[in-house]
A and B are shown apart, each in its own frame.
Chain A
Amino acid sequence: MKSFVYVIKDPLGIHARPAGMLAKAAKPYADTPITVTKGDKTVKASQLMKLMSLGVKTGDEVTVAAEGPAEDEAIAAMEAFFKENL
């Protein structure tokens, strides 16, 4: 399993638009589940509504993890996505 910790910088947090974009970005890695964890709650990056329901705000710390055949590639894509959009 590969993972990284990220502190959200977007002033609105993981709101609808980036959640949608994130779910889209996670789609190519169907065989390598990607998860987002805030506190004790973990959801899959592809679960758009659940992702929004985490209520991730600016300044919150989240852990993003990937496990599976394409985990290196998936985690690199996620790191780039978070830095760019969140």
Chain B
Amino acid sequence: MIVLQGQGVSKGIEYGSLYFYHRTNTQVTQQTVEDTAAEAQRLEEAKAKSIAQLEQMAEKAREEAGDSAAELFETHAMFVEDEDYTGAMDELLEEGWNAEYAVQQAGEQFAAMLAAMDDPYMRARAADIRDVTQRLLNNLMGIVEGGIDADHPVILAADDLAPSETIQLDKSKILAIATQGGSGNSHTAILARTMGIPAVCGLGDALNESMNGHAAYIVGDTGELIFDPDADTLAALQVRQKAQQEQRELMRTMVGQEDVTLDGRHIKVYCNIGSPEDVDAVLTNDGRGIGLFRSEFLYLAAEDYPSEEDQFRAYKEVAAAMQGKTVIIRTLDIGADKQVEYFGLNREENPAMGLRAIRICLNRPEVFRTQLRALYRASAYGKIAIMFPMIASVWEVKECRRACQKVMEELKAEGIPFDPEVEIGIMIETPAAVFIADELAPLVDFFSVGTNDLTQYTLACDRQCNDLGKFFDPHHPAVLRALKMAADAAHKAGIWIGICGELGADLSLLPTFLAIGIDELSVSPTAVLPLRAEIRRSIASTCTLDMLNS
């Protein structure tokens, strides 16, 4: 077995033979010309031809990979006409040099300018300039780039691929892409992700032409290229391949479908996310909203309390990306078990029952206020809802609502836009909240059950303790009865109830959730489509509460 390790830049697994991409070598020589006007004319023709080709490619990209891929080629077409870039060429032509040399020199000058910048994104754009320059050269010299002449789909291997090369290739012949160079910011990576094929970059010299025609597994998730896998590895790879096939089948059949049972009961299927980057996965898997956006990442990644502005930007980004779909953001849920030094929390023997989550917020109004201000400001850019964790008492909810009211008044006085109708919910994760659910429900717009904590507190089983095994049982009738108590109280008050703990994705419990009358399930993005498929096979009216009894 040989394993080459690179950087996985687009997920997925494929098995196929490697095919090395061959690039025509354009040797440019520096020559003087007599007829500078004719040379200028040649350059003009090459420019016009390049622009026409790029516009065609933009159309092709729009069909294959959407607007953002098309905009790349439109930008390339604008590069061809850029006054500084063409100005540099014109100067060299006027000095009496040939057009090829003028184009190559101008290209290098501007590519070098971007390559010298601090910003990795801008540095990667030097490749765009080189790509455009190569196109101009090809058109000047009458060179046509080669494609793939294999008769079956292959793993395309190359030193690196320019965006124009990637888009020109016949996609039906490409299973995956492996390159020696490149990065997660390169166009190869971006296009591979949009096309949904695996890609591994940065394999270096280990990937070489002697491997042409060899069969390999490529794993985009781990960045591996595997030749001759041993029996164990092969078995593991095949399991992944099968899971991928099932996922693709679900994608094909379930994206765009409603979350409704055979007898017409609608359930909202939302997603749990931990940072703005997860939104892509939500949209790809067709989540209908975000049921739990954990705001901890802002606090855990920082050296000091994150500013209102930083938080605002993160919340706004997610709200805007979800385009009017609900985004439920949970206020900070930190305790002594998470290492956030600047909070200066005392060490606790039993952090699960200590000063954590809403308790910290209510003790430190300034920390709370900063987060609430950021949340309300972001609410002007999408449909945000706010959720408070670890609620155990009515007074806590009242105090939270007062804090929200105060923030809204502040923003109003400052003339800052916000949505005054932001829904307020609480997490049901303490037995106390279950027992007084009838008193809590009229104070809020929704309940969301955190089943992990609810199980821990109901069964007196520490989540962090690995030895509890069979004693830590989220299917325990006590946990499921607690769910029903909370659901009954919610419905009596006319509000909805969801589940945002891991239990929400447990398909064996779906009939019980339907019988209880759960309105929303928030699960990890990859669990959305399997759950949707199961919902669409279910009949709510025949589901029973059997599991609530031992």
- Partner-B contacts on A (CB < 8 A): 9, 11-13, 15-17, 19-20, 23-24, 46-50, 52-53, 55, 57
Provide the B270-291 mask, 1 if CB < 8 A to any CB of A, else 0: 0000000000000000000000
Q: Are A49 and B110 in contact (CB under 8 A)?
A: yes
CB distance from A17 to the nearest CB of B (A): 5
CB distance from B197 to the nearest CB of A (A): 23
CB distance from A47 to the nearest CB of B (A): 6
Known A-B contacts A15-B122, A55-B117, A55-B122; the reply to A50 vs B84 at CB < 8 A is: yes
Known A-B contacts A49-B84, A49-B85, A53-B114; the reply to A11 vs B317 at CB < 8 A is: yes
**Residues of chain B with a CB closer than 8 A to A48's CB:** 75, 78-79, 82
**Residues of chain B with a CB closer than 8 A to A52's CB:** 114, 122, 125
Known A-B contacts A48-B82, A50-B84, A55-B118; the reply to A20 vs B74 at CB < 8 A is: yes
Query: Is B128 in the interface zone, CB < 8 Å from A?
Result: yes
CB distance from B502 to the nearest CB of A (A): 31
**Residues of chain B with a CB closer than 8 A to A16's CB:** 72, 75, 125, 128
Report Cα–Cα, A52/B71, bound state, in Å.
16
12 intermolecular pairs with C-beta atoms under 8 Å apart: A15-B122, A15-B125, A16-B72, A19-B75, A20-B78, A48-B78, A48-B79, A49-B79, A50-B84, A52-B114, A53-B117, A55-B119
- CB contact between B121 and one of A9, A12, A46, A50 (< 8 Å): that residue: A12
- CB contact between A20 and one of B68, B71, B122, B317 (< 8 Å): that residue: B71
Report Cα–Cα, A57/B118, bound state, in Å.
11
Report Cα–Cα, A34/B125, bound state, in Å.
24
A to B contact number (C-beta, < 8 Å) = 53
**Residues of chain B with a CB closer than 8 A to A50's CB:** 84
Report Cα–Cα, A50/B87, bound state, in Å.
12
Report Cα–Cα, A23/B313, bound state, in Å.
27
Interface band, chain B: 20 to 34
Find the A residue at minimum CB distance from B68.
A17
Beta-carbon contacts under 8 Å, B90-147 to A: 110, 113-114, 117-119, 121-122, 125, 128-129
Query: Is B83 in the interface zone, CB < 8 Å from A?
Result: yes
**Residues of chain B with a CB closer than 8 A to A17's CB:** 68, 71-72, 75
CB distance from B521 to the nearest CB of A (A): 31
Report Cα–Cα, A48/B78, bound state, in Å.
8
Report Cα–Cα, A84/B74, bound state, in Å.
20
Interface of B is mostly: helix
Report Cα–Cα, A23/B76, bound state, in Å.
13
Find the B residue at minimum CB distance from A50.
B84
**Residues of chain B with a CB closer than 8 A to A11's CB:** 313, 317
Find the B residue at minimum CB distance from A48.
B82
CB distance from A58 to the nearest CB of B (A): 8
Q: Are B129 and A49 in contact (CB under 8 A)?
A: yes
Q: Are B122 and A47 in contact (CB under 8 A)?
A: no
**Residues of chain B with a CB closer than 8 A to A15's CB:** 121-122, 125
CB distance from B419 to the nearest CB of A (A): 19
**What 18 additional pairs, Cβ within 8 angstroms, besides A17-B75, A23-B78, A49-B84?**
A12-B121, A15-B122, A15-B125, A16-B75, A16-B125, A17-B71, A19-B75, A20-B74, A23-B82, A46-B83, A47-B83, A47-B84, A49-B79, A49-B110, A50-B84, A52-B122, A55-B118, A57-B119
Report Cα–Cα, A24/B71, bound state, in Å.
13
Q: Are A20 and B75 in contact (CB under 8 A)?
A: yes
**Residues of chain A with a CB closer than 8 A to B119's CB:** 13, 55, 57
**Residues of chain A with a CB closer than 8 A to B68's CB:** 17
**Residues of chain B with a CB closer than 8 A to A9's CB:** 313
**Residues of chain A with a CB closer than 8 A to B113's CB:** 49, 53
A24, A50, A52, most chain B CB atoms within 10 A:
A52
Q: Are B121 and A49 in contact (CB under 8 A)?
A: no
CB distance from A11 to the nearest CB of B (A): 7
CB distance from B549 to the nearest CB of A (A): 52
Report Cα–Cα, A86/B250, bound state, in Å.
37
Find the B residue at minimum CB distance from A14.
B122
Report Cα–Cα, A24/B81, bound state, in Å.
11
B83, B122, B125, B317, most chain A CB atoms within 10 A:
B122
**Residues of chain B with a CB closer than 8 A to A20's CB:** 71, 74-75, 78
**Residues of chain A with a CB closer than 8 A to B75's CB:** 16-17, 19-20, 48
**Residues of chain A with a CB closer than 8 A to B79's CB:** 48-49
Report Cα–Cα, A15/B68, bound state, in Å.
13
| Leading 8 A-B pairs by shortest Cβ distance | A20-B75, A48-B82, A20-B78, A49-B82, A16-B75, A17-B71, A55-B117, A49-B110
Find the B residue at minimum CB distance from A11.
B317
CB distance from A79 to the nearest CB of B (A): 18
Find the A residue at minimum CB distance from B129.
A49
Report Cα–Cα, A52/B114, bound state, in Å.
8
**Residues of chain A with a CB closer than 8 A to B122's CB:** 15, 52-53, 55
CB distance from A83 to the nearest CB of B (A): 13
